[in-house]
Structure 1
Amino acid sequence: MNIPLESLRPCLDGAMPAVVATSAPDGTPNVAYVSQVHFVDARHVALSFQFFSKTRENVLAHPYAEVQVIEPGSFRHFRLRVQYLRTETAGPLFEYMRAQLAGIAAKTGMDKVFVLRGADVYRVLDIENVDPQLPPAPPLPDALLALRRAFDHLGACDDLALLADRALAALTHGFGIRHALLAMLDAKLDATPGAPGSALYTLASQGYPVSGVGAEVALGEGLIGVAAQEKIPVRINHRTPDYTYHAALRVADPVLPRIPLPVLANPHSQIAVPLVHGDRLLGVLYAESEQDAFFSHTDEDALVVYGRHLAALIDRIAALPDDEAAPGALPAATQSGAPLAVRYFAHDHSVFIDNDYLIKGVAGSILWALLNEHAAHGRHEFSNRELRRDPRLPLPDFADNLETRLILLQRRLAERCPDIALEKTGRGRFRLNLARPLALGAA
């Protein structure tokens, strides 16, 4: 091909509808609009299959077509001569296109009609510039420079809590992203990583009125859950109710305690990037904007690189050895005031303080174990090593992410119950500080 397919990626963002021309076996032509033409790789595109239309009937009988796409900003037209190969109805490509189609459908008011049935994969045989006399569109902002600025701001860091905050601040410095969150994978005890029993929990956020630390997202739920489940980046550049968390996660079962995700009420652009190191999923970096088309395809590429770098840093910090020497014991802080009523529910490891929900899951079981150790033995100094060996804690044998769970617990306590605090005293060591006496009760 004289024109590289990669150069047409701005034409394939769904901002302007594409046209596909096919022919029946008897030569009868058919021309129709197609909602989505997706860049797969340097030789392939995928078209959205929504209806069993004449177009689909034709390509199944005669697997050749022409697709016309338009470049936003210049309005140059390009024709792609393509050959139909297969249809995918599940997996990363299908899920990515399903999310993109939801954005296109919502923008055009067709969200009840546009339902993706499959992703039709085509080989691109040739590309023709229909308007060679027109100048190209202005170049996109330099995503590589934005990535470099983000890396410079991120810097070197050996503390996971600090890294989480820096990782989000670097997005603003490099890409101008003001609203973002970092969600970490929480593999359940009875599930393998990435299995349906797993979920993600918010470790850090920026740009929102509340932090939402501890908010959970199930795998496959919304943009964050899809990116995690399929280990793919997912980008939507138009407002879509299908992938808006604001309403759905606040009307969840009111009986079940749930911390709301700290997201925009009406995001017009969203991107979720999986944090993958090797073949292991560690979490998801999610960003959003109130502007349409805020994230370009080059931003997506750069943020994928940023996400992989961040995942490698997280993995490196997790592998650092704990401090061998315990810090000198400090005198316990004086406790005063009415006792805090701490109630623990073993079935989901949830903890309530003075009847207000605090946390659940592994972080809840850790807090309950610490408070009981203090009540029974007056202890204040603890280590990660002993927590990993504690049979009372439902830590999985693989990827326990203990450090991130402790950061989650520390931040949740600071927000909801500052009378109980976790203070880091060294790598793999921390102190439990109590400003008020406790009244423990389990159910």
Structure 2
Amino acid sequence: MMIKLDAIRECLEGVVPGIMATAAPDGTPNVAYLSQIQFVDGDHVALSYQFFNKTRQNILSNPRAMLTVTNPATAAQYRLTLEFLRTETSGPLFESMKAKLAGIASHTGMSGIFKLLGADVFRVVHIHQVPGASLPPPPKQRNLMASLRHSSERLSACQDLDRLLNETLACLDELFGIRHTMVLMIDAPGERLYTVASRGYEASGIGSEIPLGKGVIGVAAREKTPIRIGHMNAEYAYSRAIRENAQHSGWADALETEIPLPGLPESRSQMAVPIVFAQKLLGVLYVESPQDLRFTYDDEDALVTLALQLGLAIHLLQSAAEACEEAPMPDMSGPPAFGAPLVIRHFAENDSVFLGDDYLIKGVAGSIFWTLFRDFVDKKRSEFTNRELRLDTRIRLPDVSDNLEARLILLSRRLVERNAGIRLEKTGRGRFRLSVGRPVVLVDEAG
């Protein structure tokens, strides 16, 4: 019975190094250990090209090779007959292998030596199991297909984005056993992602940002491909990716506007999966663990599938909200506000907002917040709809399909965390109320 490549993917995780055999044109053999083998699809693997060594010279002149891989749990060995096709030096496959190799290098103390030059793609011509004793496979810790099925059922019952995000992270915790998770949404004009939901961290990090192309999350977003790393990796750590170089004017210069990204101090396994719909990037689903090699190819398959469903659900909820939004309720006079006035400061350059000296938010969410409070103070309004915000030229939403609801959820959660007596309260489909429990003073620092 023919062995299929996807049935032996655990042999490609790098726990036991692969052994590569090539031959020079004159027949002289060469054997070398490999740093990384990447499963591409059912017929192809990619091998890391790091040095112009004898193996590299041989495959360029003689494209046939033999590769021996070992199952780390059973010690079963397989011999793959390969044919070299091409070398990729950019794109999703290259970036995925580059990130994984950086983790291997960090784990083995070879960070200054292991640098990926290219991903050598080979066609798998034949797979042969090497005769010999092997151990029975260990029982699986959980059935990922069952976890995916139950997660799909729970997500399909969600009728708004807030619940969908919470339920997604709850499913990862309860059904997949993944404790540390977050969802980030794309802010395309700013070329960054912002955290809109997290679970398992001491601080939520809601509103924290990461630029496209930076770290595991940013690379997965830019390339729209899953990135999975099995060892702690300094090159892709948060500290190298969180801060964007942004210029603030006036009073904002002296104030901190960075919200720390949540994360484990000793993250040893990481995986970032893009959330897409119709090839459009919506965000990233990110998971991590303090355990080495926590996430396998099977985990990657399951989370990619879950992220695809999440992307579809986000799109459908957004479309339904736009089609069925209700008219605003008449503004009702609430109880009079008491207490010391809250000074709300706005900086037009990047729409950053401060509650007193406390940073709240910036960007589109900051513009939304400032617009709501201008109407609250100038027009005595407290009832609003998503539809009117989309059409409000003061906010300057990037495009019609921008996920406004995600920005409102971000803003609402930040207000709850700041505990400043301000709330956004959902009052219907596509409708909400601005609840203000104390007097406010608006200061436009650009004015």
Task: Give the alignment's TM-score, normalised by structure 2.
Answer: 0.93
Q: Indicate the residue corresponding to 1:232 in structure 2.
A: 225
Please name the residue that 1:272 is paired with: 272
Q: Which amino acid aligns with 1:43?
A: D
Question: Shift of the alpha carbon at 1:144?
Answer: 0.7
Q: 1:137 and 1:364 mapped to 2: Cα distance?
A: 54
CA deviation map 1:35-56 (0-9, x unaligned): 0111111111100001111110
Kept in 2: contact 1:149–1:173 (CA 8 A): no
AA matched with 1:257: T
Query: Structure 2 counterpart of 1:291, which letter?
Result: Q
Deviations 1:380-401 (A, max 9, x none): 1111111111111120124211
Task: Answer with 135-144 or 405-414: which moved more.
Answer: 135-144
Q: Distance in 1 between matches of 2:443 and 2:437?
A: 19
CA apart distance, 1:142 = 2.3
Aligned-pair CA distance for 1:328: 4.7
Match of 1:168 in 2: 169
- Alpha-carbon displacement from aligned partner over 1:46-74 (angstroms, at most 9, x marks no partner): 00001111110111111111111111111
Question: Secondary structure of 2:360's match?
Answer: strand
Amino acid at match of 1:78: Y
**Inter-partner Cα distance in structure 2 for 1:415 and 1:421:** 10
> 2: distance between equivalents of 1:13 and 1:139?
18
- Stretch of structure 1 that moved more, 152-161 or 97-106: 152-161
Give distance in 1, aligned partners of 2:281 and 2:393: 26
Q: CA deviation at 1:243?
A: 1.9
- Cα distance in 1, alignment partners of residues 136 and 274 from structure 2: 33
User: What's 1:405 paired with?
Assistant: 407
**Conserved? CA contact 1:72–1:137, under 8 Å:** no
Partner Cα separation in structure 1 for residue 291 and residue 185 of structure 2: 26
Q: Distance in 1 between matches of 2:154 and 2:373?
A: 38
The 10-residue stretch of structure 1 (277-286 or 89-98) with the greater mean CA deviation from structure 2: 277-286
SS of 2:120 mapped into structure 1: strand
Please name the residue that 1:359 is paired with.
361
Counterpart-to-counterpart distance in 2, 1:418 and 1:155: 35
Query: What SS does the corresponding residue of 2:185 show, helix, strand or coil?
Result: strand
Aligned residue among 433, 436, 443 for 1:431: 433
Secondary structure, counterpart of 1:81 in structure 2: strand
Give the 5 Å matches for 1:363-402. 363-402=365-404
Question: In the alignment, is the contact (CA less than 8 A) between 1:244 and 1:266 conserved in 2?
Answer: no
Alignment of 1:208-287 (within 5 A): 208-246=201-239, 249=242, 257-287=257-287
Alignment counterpart, residue 344 of structure 2, candidates 342, 345, 352: 342
How far does residue 256 in structure 1 lie from its aligned partner after superposition? Answer: 6.2
Distance, in Å, in 2 between the alignment partners of 1:397 and 1:146 is: 36
Deviation sequence 1:219-270 (CA, Å, 0-9, x none):
1111111111111111112111122215653798897621111111111111
Report deviation, 1:4: 0.9
The alpha carbon displacement at 1:274 in A equals 0.9
Q: Check whether the contact 1:168–1:205 (CA below 8 A) recurs between aligned residues.
A: yes
Instruction: Note if contact 1:333-1:434 (Cα within 8 Å) is conserved in structure 2.
Output: no
SS in 1 for 2:337: coil
| SS of aligned partner of 1:185 | strand
Read off the aligned partner of 1:102 and give its amino acid letter. A
Regions of 4+ moved over 6 Å: 250-256
Q: CA deviation at 1:424?
A: 0.9
Q: 2:114 is matched by which residue type in structure 1?
A: F
Relative distance call for 1:225 and 1:398 in structure 2 (3 A) is farther
Q: 1:175 aligns to what SS in structure 2? A: coil
2:341–2:440 CA contact under 8 A, matched in 1: yes
Counterpart Cα distance in 2 of 1:159 and 1:112: 47
Contact 1:148 1:174 (C-alpha < 8 Å) held by counterparts: no
Amino acid at match of 1:400: D
Q: How far apart, in 2, do the equivalents of 1:393 and 1:251 lie?
A: 22
**Which stretch has the larger CA shift, 326-335 or 67-76?**
326-335
Per-residue deviation, residues 136-179 of structure 1 (Å, max 9, x unmatched):
53354421122123234435011111111111001112100111
Determine the C-alpha separation between the residues in 2 that align with 1:19 and 1:323: 61
Partner of 1:192: none
Matched with 1:85 is 85
- What is aligned with 1:156? 157
Tell me the distance in 2 between the aligned counterparts of 1:328 and 1:232: 47
User: What's the counterpart of residue 186 of structure 1?
Assistant: 187
- Percent identical residues: 51
Supply the distance in 1 between the matched residues of 2:299 and 2:143 (Cα, whole angstroms). 9
Alpha-carbon contact 1:150-1:175 (below 8 Å) kept: no
Q: CA deviation at 1:329?
A: 3.5
Unaligned runs of at least 5 residues, structure 2: 247-253
Structure 2 CA distance, aligned partners of 1:135 and 1:6?
20
RMSD between aligned alpha carbons?
A: 1.8
Alpha carbons 1:270, 1:289 under 8 Å: kept: yes
List per-residue Cα deviations over 1:104-135 (Å, max 9, x = no partner).
Answer: 11111111211111000011111121134424
8 Å contact kept, 1:246–1:263: no
User: Are 1:322 and 1:427, in contact at CA under 8 Å, matched by a contact in 2?
Assistant: yes
- The answer on whether the counterparts of 2:210 and 2:241 sit within 8 Å (CA) in structure 1 is no
Partners of 1:312 and 1:138 in 2: CA distance: 35
Conserved? CA contact 2:211–2:244, under 8 Å: no
Q: Is 6-15 or 237-246 further displaced after alignment?
A: 237-246
Q: Is the 8 A contact 1:71 1:137 kept in 2?
A: no
After superposition, give the CA deviation of every residue in 1:344-382 in whole Å (9 maximum; x if it has no partner).
111101001111111000000011111111111111111
Equivalence for 1:333? 335
CA distance in 2, matches of 1:403, 1:127: 50
